[in-house]
Amino acid sequence: MTRATRIAALGLALLTLAGRADAQGIAWDELSDAQRRLLAPQQEQWDRLDPERQERIARGAERWLEMAPEERQRARERFRRWQALPEDQRAAIRERYAELRRLPPAERQRLLETYRRYRALPPERRLELRERFRELTPEQRRALRQRAVRRPLPRAVPRSGTPQRPQQRAPRRAR
C-alpha cells in the first residue's frame, strides 16, 4: 500500500469516525456563522442531506476551522491525492477500512500501534521494509500477515508483576 493510499485511508477513517447524528439532523440555522460561511455552497441542498451526513459535514467544518493554515494545506493535499486515485483503488481502500472496523478493538489497537511504530522509523528503514515486502511472493505475504494477526499484544508488565525493561535493538546496518 503506497503512502498516498495510507493517507487517503486515514482521511477516510477520520471522516467516518466523525460521529453519528441524531434523527433530526442539524438545521442550517443551528450551524455557527463560521460553519455557514464555509458550507455556503451546501446551503441549497442542506435540508435534503441525510442527518448523519449533515452531522459529519458540520463536524468536519468545525475541525477545518480549528486547523492551522499548515494543517489545512496538508489536508487539501491529502484530499487532492485521494481524488486522483482511480475508483478501484479508492474502493479497495474503503474495503480495507471496513475490514479494520470489523476487527475486535484489541486487534485494531494492536494494528494501529504497529503502524505508529512503523511511521516512527527513519524513512530509510521504512523504505527498506517496503522493498523487502515487495520482494515476497503472494504466499509469503499472506503467511506474514497471518503471523501478524495471530501475534499477541506486547505485554508492558510480565506475569510476575515486575516491570519489564524495553529491549534495545542494535541499529541495523545498511546493505
What integer pLDDT is reported at residue 8 of this predicted model?
Answer: 55
Is the distance from CB of 157 to CB of 107 less than 8 angstroms?
Answer: no
Cell of 157: 508488565
Q: What is the pLDDT of residue 142?
A: 86
What integer pLDDT is reported at residue 13 of this predicted model?
53
The helix-helix angle for 123-135 and 105-120 (nearest 10°) equals 120
Q: What is the mean pLDDT of each run of 10 residues along the chain (175 residues)?
A: 57 52 76 94 92 93 95 95 95 92 91 92 94 92 77 48 46 49
Q: Given this model, what pLDDT does residue 111 score?
A: 87
Q: CA-to-CA distance for 53 and 58, rounded, in angstroms? A: 8
pLDDT of the residue at 165 = 45
d(CA 148, CA 140): 12
The whole-angstrom separation of Cα 47 and Cα 174 is: 59
CB 100 within 8 A of CB 108: yes
The rounded distance, in Å, linking the Cα atoms of 126 and 167 is 20
- Residue 73 is given by DSSP the state H
